[in-house]
Structure 1
Amino acid sequence: MSEQKYATYTGDQFLFFELKEVLKLKKENLEDRLIREKVKSENLFQYTSAASIARVLPPVIKRANLLDEKLIDMVLEEDTQTGKLINLYAMMKSNRLFFEFMDEVVREKYKYGQLYLEKKDINEFFDRKIEQSEEIASWSHSSIQKMKQVTIKSLYECGMVENIRSGDMNRINIQLSLKRHLVEIGDEKYLIAMGVSDI
């Protein structure tokens, strides 16, 4: 399998509510085309702008298609925190750069008990990636800045970062059934990136 290419995630955001809406439609066995039509025609995301819906639909559907039946059921039936961590897993799985941030920065923070995420940590990560990849180096400054904002906001929304301003972090509790399932399907690297050590 070839290595996943780098892609920006400026428009991805955390989008947990939107993911749940799409997963409900997937449970009705609707194809992606029909899901798009239904989300737009019934304004299921409750957005005021059609352009906003069009912008977030691709990443949400991409994430939804990465989840198997068990993970879909967990998002829809288990507690909100479990659903948010599955969404975070789907974000990592759908975007190489976001996964590398989690694996190289967040995992290290948990590993060494440094429970704070500073702007410096995020800036250094992106500076390093710009040096390592011509592709990333070609992206605009505004795109890089937007991804930095999406990164910290996503970690805040899933409960890893307690306070965006201070960067204080929380250790997360992952349900045992979720942990076991991700190991069973060979995706333990995403657990490790979330700071889970007892696998």
Structure 2
Amino acid sequence: MQRNPYSAGAVKFSFWFQEFRKAVFMLADGASLAEIKKLNQETNIFAASSPERAKLIMSNVAKRIEALDPSFVPLFVCSDVVGQKLLCLIACMCTDTLFFDFVNDIIRVKLALGLNEYGDSDARKFWDDKQIQSDKVANLTE
């Protein structure tokens, strides 16, 4: 995974599992990402509320798909919904360094300890730690 600079811009992006799933199945059926993008522009395949929103969704879904090796497509198609959601989550982690670090630093540790919940204090601790580690994160505001 390429480590991109931290950005809080990704907080406005949804998980977009259904859109990701639809695009991956279209890839499995032989469409190219360029064809899917064109179809989205022409017919709003994700039923977005506006053309700008459709473009934003497609841009993020495409970025997530491109972050994974193409070999994930057949694995995704033959997986159950839980497996597909995990692959979508991995794609999100590959495209958002801050989210990757949150999952790695907080969620991974919780799971290793057998804890299945995290709270506001965990998120605050993560944020405080990142602000100390990174001037860019320290300058981010709500």
Question: By the TM > 0.5 criterion, same fold?
Answer: yes
The CA distance in 2 between the partners of 1:29 and 1:46, in whole Å, is 19
Is residue 81 from structure 1 mapped to residue 71 from structure 2 by the alignment? Answer: no
Identical aligned pairs, as a percentage?
Answer: 24
- Using the alignment, how far apart are the partners of 1:109 and 1:43 within structure 2? 40
The corresponding residue for 2:109 is 108
Name the CA distance, whole Å, in 1 between partners of 2:15 and 2:140: 21
Residue 7 of structure 2 aligns with an amino acid whose one-letter code is A
Can you give the 5+ residue segments of structure 1 that lack an aligned partner in the other structure?
A: 142-199
Which residue identity lines up with residue 32 of structure 2 in the other structure? L
What is the match of residue 196 of structure 1? Answer: none
Partner of residue 30, structure 1: 32
The normalised TM-score by structure 2 is: 0.85
1:7 equivalent in alignment to 2:7? yes
CA distance in 1, matches of 2:13, 2:47: 17
TM-score normalized with structure 1 length: 0.63
Q: Residue 10 of structure 1: SS of its match in structure 2?
A: helix
Question: In the superposition, relative to structure 1, how do residues 61 and 2 fare at CA in structure 2: closer, same or farther (>3 Å)?
Answer: closer
How far apart are 1:29 and its partner, in Å?
4.1
* Aligned AA (1:118): G
What are the Cα deviations for residues 164-185 of structure 1, in whole angstroms up to 9, with x where unaligned? xxxxxxxxxxxxxxxxxxxxxx
Which residue number in structure 2 is paired with residue 159 of structure 1? none
Q: CA RMSD for the aligned pairs? A: 2.0
CA contact (8 A) 2:67 2:91 kept: yes
Partner SS state of residue 92, structure 2: helix
> Do the aligned partners of 1:75 and 1:82 also contact (CA within 8 Å) in 2?
yes
**CA gap 1:35/1:2 in 2 versus in 1, 3 angstroms:** closer
Identify unmatched segments of 5+ residues in structure 2.
Answer: none
- Asked whether the 8 Å contact 1:16–1:87 carries over to 2, the reply is yes
Helix, strand or coil for the counterpart of 2:65? helix
Q: 1:58: which partner in 2?
A: 59
Higher relative helix content: 2
Q: 1:107-136 deviations in whole A, cap 9, x for unaligned?
A: 111111222211111122112212221112
Q: Does 1:118 align with 2:100?
A: no
Quote how far apart the aligned CAs of 1:106 are: 0.3
Correspondence for 1:21: 22
Alpha-carbon distance change, 44 to 129 in structure 1, aligned in 2, over 3 angstroms: same
Q: Shift of residue 24 of structure 1?
A: 2.9
User: Where does residue 41 of structure 2 map in the other structure?
Assistant: 40
- Within the alignment, does 1:138 sit opposite 2:134 as a pair? no
Counterparts in 2 of 1:77 and 1:40: CA distance versus 1, 3 Å: farther
Instruction: Return 4-13 or 94-103, whichever deviates more.
Output: 4-13
Offset of residue 14 of structure 1: 0.9
Give the CA deviation at 1:52: 1.8
Deviates more, 1:93-102 or 1:128-137: 128-137
- Displaced runs of 4 or more, over 4 A: none
Taking the aligned partners of 2:54 and 2:11, their CA distance within structure 1 comes to 15
Count of paired positions: 140
